[in-house]
Each structure stands twice: as structure tokens, then as C-alpha cells.
Structure 1
Amino acid sequence: MIESLISDILFGFTGLISIINPLGVAFVFLDRTASLSDAERRFLARRVAINAFFVLIVVFFVGTPMLHFFGISIEALRIGGGLAVAVGGWQMLNAPDTRVRMNETTSASAVPQVEPESATAKTFFPLTVPLTTGPGTMATVIALNANRTHKLSEFLLSGVASFAISGLVMLVIYYTYSRASVLARYLGAEGTRVALRVSAFLLLCIGVQIILTGFEGFLAPIVDAHAAAK
């Protein structure tokens, strides 16, 4: 049982981290919080990480029933969510270059910035959803729990794994986001600009991949039915 629990935690954690890509998104977070001080950014990173934890927990336990209630398929979630992610990545990729200083950061980017007076109000949207825990993350969480049974022992084991996975993801998000400025100082202004562009391109690719996965799931039954009818 312990071996199975550890395996589920490692599998879920690696799957979610690969989708969330906190190291890459940290540069996006840094760009969108350019007007904040390091202390304010660390506070915001903590709030975003905690929000992400609760978002993951909610999706783990009620994600599938909510989709069924509203009649939304996982394919529709992936296509719509992937489109939102891809559009965000495309806008960032084509935004004007940002100018990063070591201690104070100013931006000429067209990407919406988070100002100090509105920082707390924006910790959930857009910093947590969809920037950190977007539709791709939610679809992954739902897929991880697609085979959850109603047997008490297995349900409890799955619940423990869900909390452990969400906690580990929360820690990684906080660690990377809160130290984004340190990494930017290490890379320098030019290196940070390059990293931001690469992160934006990866965000665009992730969005396109989510869309393709959604279309694949939608078209597969149609193709199979057409092939069976021949």
C-alpha cells in the first residue's frame, strides 16, 4: 500500500509539474509583477502558491462531477483552455521587449502588469488561474482521478495522494516564483529577456498541444465509428 501511494504521488507530481512548468512561468510572473518590490513579490508568490494548492484540491475532488454537472467534456475543457493558454503565450511572444533592472524592474511590455495597489486582488486571477493552474493543469488533475473508485480504502489512499501532490506543487511554485528576481539577476537583463521569450514560446506550444489533445480525443470516436461502418 505504501509503495502504491508513493508511486501515485510521484506520478501525479511529475505530471503536474511538467504541465505547470513553474520555472518557465516564474519569468512570466516576474514580468507581470515588475512594479513590485522583492518583498511584495515574495508575499504574492506565497499567496499564489496557496491559491494553487486549493485549486488543485478542489479539482482533485470535485472536478469530474462539476464537468458532468455542466455537461462539459474533458475534450471541450482541453480545447477551450488550450486556446486561452495559446493566446496568452502568443501575446507575450509578440509583446515589446521588457527592460529589467537588478533591484527595480520597469516594463514597457503590453502584457498587463500587476500594480502594488491591486496585487492582492489579482493573486487568484490572473496569477493563479490561468497563469499557474490553467486548463491544462485542471485537465491533467481530472485525468489523474478519472479511475477513482468509491471503495473506502482506495478513496482514502487517493485522497492522501491528492493532498501530498498538491502540497509538493505548492512548495515548488512558491520556491520558484519567490526567487524569480534572484534568477533574473543571475541571468542578467539580456538573459532574462531571452528566458521570457522562451517561456512565452513554450506556453504557446503547451496551449497548442492541449488543443491538439482535445481534438484528438474528440475525433477519435468519430474516426473509429466511421472505420467500423466500412
Structure 2
Amino acid sequence: MFDTFLQSFLLVFATFLPIMNPFGGAMFFLTLTQGVRVDMRARITNRMALFCFIVLMVSIFAGRLILSFFGISLAVLQVGGGLVLVSAGWQALHAPVHTGDVEDKGLSDRSDTELMSMAFYPLTLPLTTGPGTIAAAAAIGSSQTGSIATIFGCIAASIAITLLTWVCFRFSDKIPKAVGAAGADALARLFAFILVCIGISVFWQGFSSLWTTLPQ
């Protein structure tokens, strides 16, 4: 039973790690929350981690059922997720320049409720657990056996990747202190542009799949 648990754990964790990419996602998180107070960023991270775990669990054990119930294909999911990523990256790319003291004051034009709402959209979906993660989780759920060891392996791996994501996002504010305000703003613009490119890539994958289904 332990061998089955370990095999399931390693399979799920190794599948989610490159797709969710918590190390690179931490920089995107910092870019999208630039100017947010440190305590508020910590609260957002906590809620985002909870949402990530819930999305993983739902995707693994009921992902295919939910998508088929609403008639949503993976290609449609990729198109929608890609558009959202492009929108989030574009807004971050054109965000005002923040100096080092802005983070302590917080954003003056957004309430705490509005900031906390970012925990699910766009930070959880589609930034962290996007179309690729949902598709992979649904595939894992449909391919794994229903044994107790396999189920606990999937749950343990989801907890592990969620904790790793939480750690990376929670301490992402150390980056500006290491590179300075100007360097942090430059990195934010760079990763915002990369986020736009990722969104276009995800959109194109979905669009290409949909295009091939059109009647000739």
C-alpha cells in the first residue's frame, strides 16, 4: 500500500510542479500585487493557497464530469484562460510606477475587499491553477485507480504543491528588497510582458484546436 501511495504522490507532484511553476509564479504574483501592503499580501496568499487546493481537489475527482456537464472542452478552457492571462498581464504592464514606500501605504484606490477578491481571480484561476493544471488534474483523476492509497497519494501531492506555492508567493516580497525599487519595477514589467506572452500561447493552443474542428 505504501508503494502505491508513494507512486501516486510522485506522479501527481511531478505533474503539477512544472505546470503550476510556483517559483516563476511568485514573480507574477508580486507583479500583480505591486503596491499592496505586506499584511494584505499575506492574507491574499493564504486565501489563494486555499483556493488552489480546492481547485486541485475538484479537478482531480470531478474535473471531467464538470467540464462535460457544462459542455466545456479543453480548447475552450484554454482560449478563455489565455484571454484572462493576457488581460492581467496587460494591466500589470501598464500599471503606474511604484516606489519603495508605496507598499507600506497600500493601494489608495482599492479596498481590502477588492484586493482579497484577487485571491481567486486572477491569482488562483487562471494564473496558478490555469487550464493546463485543470486538464492535467482531470486526466490524473480519470487514470488513477480508486484505491485508498492512490486517493491519499493524490491528496498528499496536492497539499505538497499547494504548500510550496504558498511559501514561494508568501515570501516573494523579498525580491524588491534584494534588487531595489527600480530593479523590482523593471522585473515587474518584464514578467508582465512574459505573462502576456504566456496568455497568447495558451490562447493559441486552444484556438488552434478549435480551428481544426471547423467544417472544411
TM-score, structure 1 normalization: 0.75
1:186 positional shift: 1.0
* Distance (whole Å) between structure 2 residues aligned to residue 144 and residue 212 of structure 1: 24
Q: CA deviation at 1:218?
A: 4.3
Which of 154, 169, 175 does residue 177 from structure 1 map onto?
Answer: 169
Segments of structure 2 that go 5 or more residues without pairing to the other structure are none
> C-alpha separation between the residues in 2 aligned to 1:160 and 1:2?
10
- The answer for the alignment partner of 2:33 in structure 1 is 33
The residue aligned with 1:188 is 180
Distance 2:2 2:64 in 1: 26
Cα 1:96/1:64, change in 2 over 3 Å:
same
* Counterpart contact for 2:34–2:98, Cα < 8 Å: no
Structure 2 counterpart of 1:202, from 188, 194, 208 = 194
Cα–Cα, structure 1 residues 103 and 176, in superposed 2: closer, same or farther, change >3 Å?
Answer: farther
Q: Give yes or no for the alignment of 1:132 onto 2:91.
A: no
Q: Please tell me whether residue 99 in structure 1 is matched to residue 98 in structure 2.
A: yes
- C-alpha distance in structure 2 between counterparts of 1:64 and 1:88, whole Å: 27
The aligned counterpart of 1:69 is 69
Distance verdict in 2 for CA 1:34–1:211, change over 3 Å: closer
How far the C-alpha of 1:2 sits from its partner, in A, is 4.2
Partner of 2:19: 19
Tell me how many residue pairs correspond in the alignment.
Answer: 216
Q: Secondary structure at the match of 1:100?
A: coil
Could you tell me which runs of 5 or more consecutive residues in structure 1 were left unpaired when the two chains were aligned: none
Q: Could you tell me how far apart the structure 2 residues matched to 1:214 and 1:146 are?
A: 21
- Partners of 1:50 and 1:116 lie apart in 2 by 18
CA contact (8 A) 1:74 1:139 kept: yes
Taking the aligned partners of 1:116 and 1:38, their CA distance within structure 2 comes to: 12
Sequence identity (%)? 31
Distance 1:117 1:214, change over 3 A: closer
RMSD of aligned Cα (Å): 3.2
> Where does residue 78 of structure 1 map in the other structure?
78
1:105-140 superposed Cα distances (whole Å, 9 cap, x missing partner): 5789xxxx7543543444333332233323332223
> Following the alignment from structure 1 to structure 2, what is the Cα–Cα distance between the partners of residues 80 and 103?
33
> Rg bigger for which structure?
1
Pairwise CA distance, 1:63: 1.0
Q: Contact 1:114–1:122 at 8 Å: present in 2 too? A: no
Q: CA deviation at 1:54?
A: 1.1
- What does residue 160 of structure 1 align with? 152
When normalised by structure 2's length, the TM-score is 0.79
Letter in 1 for 2:68: H
Instruction: Give the superposition deviation at 1:179.
Output: 0.9
The equivalent position to 1:213 in structure 2, one of 189, 196, 205, is 205
User: Matches of 1:157 and 1:116 in 2, distance apart?
Assistant: 41
Distance 1:220 1:160, change over 3 A: farther
**Higher mean displacement: 60-69 or 81-90:** 81-90
Give the Cα separation in 2 of the matches to 1:140 and 1:89: 24
Amino acid paired to 1:140: A
Partner SS state of residue 104, structure 1:
helix
